[in-house]
Every structure is written in C-alpha cells, then in structure tokens.
Amino acid sequence: MIFDESFKNQDYTKTRLPKAEYEQCVFESCDFFNSYLDNQTFLECEFIDCNLSNANIARTTFNEVIFSGCKMMGLKFETLNDFLLALSFIDCNLNLCSFYQMELKNQRFNGCKMIETDFTEADLSGAVFDNCDLQHVIFSKTNLEKADFLTALNFKIDPEQNQLKKAKFSTTGIAGLLAKYDIIVS
C-alpha cells in the first residue's frame, strides 16, 4: 500500500505506474496518456491537471477519487471495478468517453467538456451537469430522472427515448429537448 504520497510531473507513458493500492495520494501534472492503470486501486486520491486520455482503466477501483482539470478523453469507464465506485469531476475534458450501462446516481460533473460522450443505458438519476458542454452526448435509454441540466450547454435529449421525470432544465435548454422535432424555439 502506498499512503499519503504526492506524485508530481511524472511521465507514465513509457514506464507503468507500479501496481499497488494508492490511498490518499495526490497525482499532479502527471502524464498517463495511453498507459496501463488496469487492476489498480485508488482510495481517496486526487488527480490534478493530469492527462489520462486513452488509458486502460479495466478493473481499476476508484473510491472517493477527485479528478480536477484533467484530460480524460476516450476512457471506457464501464470497464472499471464498480464496487465502491465514487468519482468527482471538476473542469475535466471527458470527450469521447463511455459510461455505458453504468450506475451513476447523483453523480456530479462540474464545468466539464463532454463532447460525444456516451451514456447509453446509464442510470444518471439525480446527476448534476453544472456548466457542462454536452454537445453530441449520447443519451439513449438513459435514466435522467431528477437530473439537473439547468446550466448545461448544447445537449440534445430525446424525451421519448429517456426517462426524464422531474429532471430540471432552464427555459433556454428546452430547445435541446425538442431538437428531434426540427422546430424553431425563440
């Protein structure tokens, strides 16, 4: 177990992060692009300004992990170990990620860019998309009950293909619910 360590400006693109259980560790400005983080355990860790794009995260455990200002493009979150899964995303680039069939009740996304991210068949009930860019995000058979889209941008959600009971939208966001009907809202 590696406890309460800080890792700064490390390059894990050529040398793999040693397999261990990391608890209360901070990774700052580290490069994990295309690296292998599979079968790792991170408990109460924080990733700040790291590049995790295209990393292999299969069977990895993220429990109470905060990602802040990270580039995380192309990650397949559905391959994670979902036992004790708890994530926070603040100002992250989550473009082209997949959360297929994941249970993400009450998940918070704060200030994230999520272009072309896939939430097909996910449970996002109670989720909050605070100031997130949701351009071309895929919501298909997704549970969005009580989800908060009040400050979300550029989303298109088909009310006939998703569960939206008690979801919150601003009046400017209504166009994103009517896009499939090709009508003009002004």
Beta bridge partners of 47: 27, 67
Find all residues with CB under 8 Å of 29, minimum gap 6, and list them.
Answer: 8, 9, 48, 49, 50
CATH topology for 94-186 is: Pectate Lyase C-like (2.160.20)
Whether the full predicted model's pTM is greater than 0.85, yes or no, is yes
Provide the pLDDT for residue 36: 94
Same topology, domains 1-89 and 94-186? Answer is yes
- Residue 67 confidence (pLDDT): 98
pLDDT at 21 over 70: yes
172 or 35: which carries more pLDDT confidence?
Answer: 35
* Residue with tokens 């989800």, as numbered in its chain: 147
Compute the average pLDDT of residues 15-33: 96
pLDDT of residue 186 exceeding 90: no
User: Of all residues in the chain, what percent carry a pLDDT higher than 90?
Assistant: 89
Question: What integer pLDDT is reported at residue 185 of this predicted model?
Answer: 66
Angle (nearest 5°) at CA 47 between 44 and 52: 125
Reading across the β-sheet that carries 2-3, which strands appear in turn?
2-3, 21-23, 41-43, 61-63
pLDDT at position 128 is: 97
For the chain, the domains span 1-89, 94-186
Judge whether residue 183 has pLDDT over 90.
Answer: no
What six digits make up the tokens of 140? 């298909």
Q: What is the pLDDT of residue 167?
A: 94
Q: Which of 4-13, 29-38, 64-73, 169-178 has the lowest mean pLDDT?
A: 169-178
- What is the structure's pLDDT at 22? 97
CATH of domain 1-89: 2.160.20.80
Q: Quick: pLDDT tens for 72-124.
A: 999 999 999 998 899 999 999 999 999 999 999 999 999 999 999 999 999 99
